[in-house]
Structure 1
Amino acid sequence: MNKIIEQLLSLSLLTMPVLVLTVHHGAGISAIIILLLSLWVLSIKYPVNISLSNKEKVLIFSLVLFPIIIIFDVILRELQLRYLDYYLRFILVIPIYFALKESKLDLRPLFIGILLGSIGAGLFSLYQFSLYQSYYININNERISGFLNAVSFGNISLLLAVMSLAGLFLVKEMKFKKIGIVVCLLAFFMGLIGSIIAGSRGGWLAIPFFIILFLIYTPIKNRYKLAGLVISVIIMLGPYYSNAYVEQRVNTGYTNAKDYLTAAESVDQSRVAQTSAGARLEMWKAAWLIFKENPIFGVGSGDYSQELITKMDAGEIERMPAYTHAHNELLHILAITGVVGFLGYLIFYAGITYYFFSTLLESHNAKEKYLSFIGILLVVGFFIFGLTSYSFAHHTMVLFFSIMVVSLAGMIGSIERDLKTA
């Protein structure tokens, strides 16, 4: 019976990458399945060994600290229950980590799920794009987004793409190596297609960092890394020069930002602030002004929007829609929770990164290296995404990140437990 439950738990890890972009409420469905199976496993294995290594303590502390800061912010000041709901999930997924750590798991479902999720993202975006073409919908006005917003769809698609490419860590473990390499590359390109069609420019800022990580840590010969660097540059520049939509998205963003920064005389500042890039820059300015007035504890999540309106009325920033966040995680956290929350935010990312990075450097096991590397890709990706959006203000992004972190870490813990008892 225990073996069957563990097999079901392994299979459930396939659901998050597969369903997140291709099924309505897919992330929520997956999270419920994984959590329920994890609680079942914990009930069967009770009492569970909760002794933790140093890196595990850092991981759990990181997952708990920042949400606690947000909880105090929400409870002690004007309630903004949305934030409480989202950030509590980083604590609620911790049982999944312990269930996975205590189980004998199969890596294949998660590996296959990432490949299928990336391929599905590409196919889904192509399907939606073909519908737009059929109904003469202008993709510049109505971007590809699946069941999410275009930014979230594009960012997760990009992450699934690079996670698929990380399958190269497991080449030596594959029975059919050439087929495995081809499938990993196919999934990588399909995920890229999903990101490109969605047109989420902010996510593309992470690509150079992904390339650096692959060049340093991918277990292939240097001449292949050099070839990979050349191919990566082509991949980065190719869509810009060969695809009018990508070129238009990049050029528009650059022009809007340039106009905003040089708008003193030649361009109407209020008009530029209404553009996508201009509005973001104006929101960043507003968040920074709010932080400077409330540097220690911030203005509070419940008062942010009202403070934004106050600054518009005072003429400190240009008029624009009263967004509920600053479209920049770092600045938004500074604005609503001050330096206290910002330190918690940095510890959150640093602690998770430490767990995966220390595993990558210390382990000689291919499966551990694979899991830790895609964990680093996940953390780096979300941190970079947060520079131009507020990922944790979106239900799907929170679930995808939190479930993937504890899934990857839990599987690493399971492998380490098996290696110690072998």
Structure 2
Amino acid sequence: MEKINPTLEKTLSYMTYGSLMILALGLVTSTTLLALSHILIIVPAIYFLTRADYKNYSKSAWALLAMTFIIIISVLVNQDIAINGYKPIFKAKYFLFGFLAIAPFSWYFKNNLNKRKISWLLYAFFIATTFATIVGIYSKYSLFNPVTLRNVSKDRNAGLFGMVMNYAHNMAYFQIIITSLVFYRKEIQKYINSYFLYIIFAINSMGLYLTYTRGAWLGFLVGIPFLFFKNNKKWFATIIVALAILGIVVYSVAGKNVIRPQSDQERLSQWQAAIMAFKERPVFGYGYLNFEQHSVEIKKRYNIGQIQFGGHAHSNVFEMLGSTGALGLIAFFFWITLWFLEMYKRTDVIAKTALPFIVVFFVSGLTQSTISLGINLFFIMAAYSITQINIRNIKN
């Protein structure tokens, strides 16, 4: 790569690190901060657009880009039923940023990031997220949110700003990262104190439990055995059995907090509607984010139950099927599979942490459409971009 002007290099460095820091502070706390993260990374992304080493990009990166284009096309070809016109195209930015951020993040990790800066990022991420958890737990039991200064009537931990499902699934991602770093603590002890990790793990484990969000729980529990998947298949199998038993116990103890037949029926009805949407428009579906606008009318047309309940498909698989059709779903599976295989082949701590993260993302996404919700996509795409970096390139 050509030598960068020192002034420009400093600007790019500040903007890239600023974007990473804001991601760390905002992934579980603030969508406003996260929007600023995108704004900061725009200039570095554009600068490296013609300078990136594309020949060394992973296959999953190209699969993600292909999925992004299919998402855009799905909106363009479905304007005859589009209630929001071309607006959903702008939501494709999350996936596009996941691809475009690879180059500036890789450059920054290789040339500017050091131990001190990594420590700041990790501490900021853990403290900000734990703050959101503590506020959520306090709000749940006091019925008052001390940050928003509003009374709340939630019977579940909804984090800092009261969005239970969004918070719960981001917490599942966060918890698998913390669990992985505790597991690989010897490899990252120069960046962060191990006892601090234990405290963060304990607080946020309680926070995740108190969300009473079954899909997030399931994703997290299924992700844990994948810490052993590569190097110890016996432990992998043993822990699956142990966690299955633990899951049954937790489910039983939680009782009526998680046994919600009405919610189950609503999800099933959305899945059925997504299948019918696919049958009507099998190639590109109803268009990205268009299915949720039509789910009720589809239910009425095919006499599917729970007609009063509409919205997204409550499943990444069915959301992609109904809104982007066969092409979108295939691209989605290619991206996830390639990402998983690439991380499996690597031995650095980023890849080893990413492996169970991908599992949590996929499994928890079977019952929640995180692929269409901005607050979740910020987390998923940030994680993806960072996993495209090889930690061995970081300066000591």
Shorter-chain TM-score: which interval? 0.7 to 0.9
> What SS is found at the alignment partner of 1:139?
coil
What is the aligned counterpart of 1:139 among 145, 154, 157? Answer: 154
The TM-score normalised by the length of structure 2 is 0.79
Cα drift, residue 328 of structure 1: 1.5
Report if aligned partners of 1:327, 1:389 keep a CA contact under 8 Å in 2: yes
- Aligned counterpart, 1:260: none
> What SS is found at the alignment partner of 1:87?
helix
What is the aligned counterpart of 1:327 among 306, 314, 321? Answer: 314
- Aligned counterpart, 2:119: 108
- Aligned counterpart, 1:17: 24
> What SS is found at the alignment partner of 1:320?
coil
Q: Is 1:87 aligned with 2:127?
A: no
Cα drift, residue 171 of structure 1: 1.5
The TM-score normalised by the length of structure 1 is 0.75
Cα drift, residue 239 of structure 1: 4.8
- Aligned counterpart, 1:387: 366
Distance 2:394 2:187 in 1: 20
> What SS is found at the alignment partner of 2:25?
helix
Q: Provide Cα deviations, 1:274-316, integer angstroms capped at 9, x if missing partner.
A: x211111111122223323433343444763575344443452
- Aligned counterpart, 1:48: 51
Report if aligned partners of 1:171, 1:180 keep a CA contact under 8 Å in 2: no
Q: Letter of the aligned partner of 2:356 in structure 1?
A: L
- Aligned counterpart, 1:249: 257
Report if aligned partners of 1:74, 1:83 keep a CA contact under 8 Å in 2: yes
- Aligned counterpart, 1:125: 136
Question: Unaligned regions of 5+ residues in structure 2, if any?
Answer: 1-5
Distance 1:26 1:340 in 2: 33
Q: Provide Cα deviations, 1:1-32, integer angstroms capped at 9, x if missing partner.
A: 54686477446423323322233523223333
- CA, structure 1 residues 200+338, in 2 after alignment: closer, same or farther (shift >3 Å)? same
Cα drift, residue 124 of structure 1: 2.4
Cα drift, residue 201 of structure 1: 1.5
Distance 1:23 1:305 in 2: 24
Distance 2:281 2:381 in 1: 29
Q: Is 1:174 aligned with 2:218?
A: no
Cα drift, residue 61 of structure 1: 0.4
> What SS is found at the alignment partner of 1:216?
coil
Report if aligned partners of 1:215, 1:229 keep a CA contact under 8 Å in 2: no
Cα drift, residue 173 of structure 1: 4.7
- Aligned counterpart, 1:270: none
Cα RMSD (Å) of the superposition?
Answer: 3.7
Distance 2:77 2:187 in 1: 54
Q: Provide Cα deviations, 1:373-399, integer angstroms capped at 9, x if missing partner.
A: 232233222212221111122111112
Q: Is 1:184 aligned with 2:185?
A: no
- Aligned counterpart, 2:334: 347
> What SS is found at the alignment partner of 1:376?
helix
Q: Provide Cα deviations, 1:43-85, integer angstroms capped at 9, x if missing partner.
A: 4x897352433xx231320220111011111112224545322
Distance 1:9 1:172 in 2: 25
- CA, structure 1 residues 279+9, in 2 after alignment: closer, same or farther (shift >3 Å)? same
Question: Unaligned regions of 5+ residues in structure 1, if any?
Answer: 257-274, 364-368
> What SS is found at the alignment partner of 2:285?
coil
- Aligned counterpart, 1:409: 388
- CA, structure 1 residues 15+239, in 2 after alignment: closer, same or farther (shift >3 Å)? farther
- CA, structure 1 residues 172+137, in 2 after alignment: closer, same or farther (shift >3 Å)? closer
- Aligned counterpart, 2:175: 161
Name the count of aligned residue pairs. Answer: 373
Report if aligned partners of 1:132, 1:138 keep a CA contact under 8 Å in 2: yes
- Aligned counterpart, 1:287: 274
- Aligned counterpart, 1:278: 265
Cα drift, residue 346 of structure 1: 0.9
- Aligned counterpart, 1:65: 66
- CA, structure 1 residues 189+14, in 2 after alignment: closer, same or farther (shift >3 Å)? farther
Distance 2:231 2:193 in 1: 16
Cα drift, residue 203 of structure 1: 1.1
Q: Provide Cα deviations, 1:242-281, integer angstroms capped at 9, x if missing partner.
A: 6xxx32222x23xx1xxxxxxxxxxxxxxxxxx2111111
Distance 2:49 2:93 in 1: 24
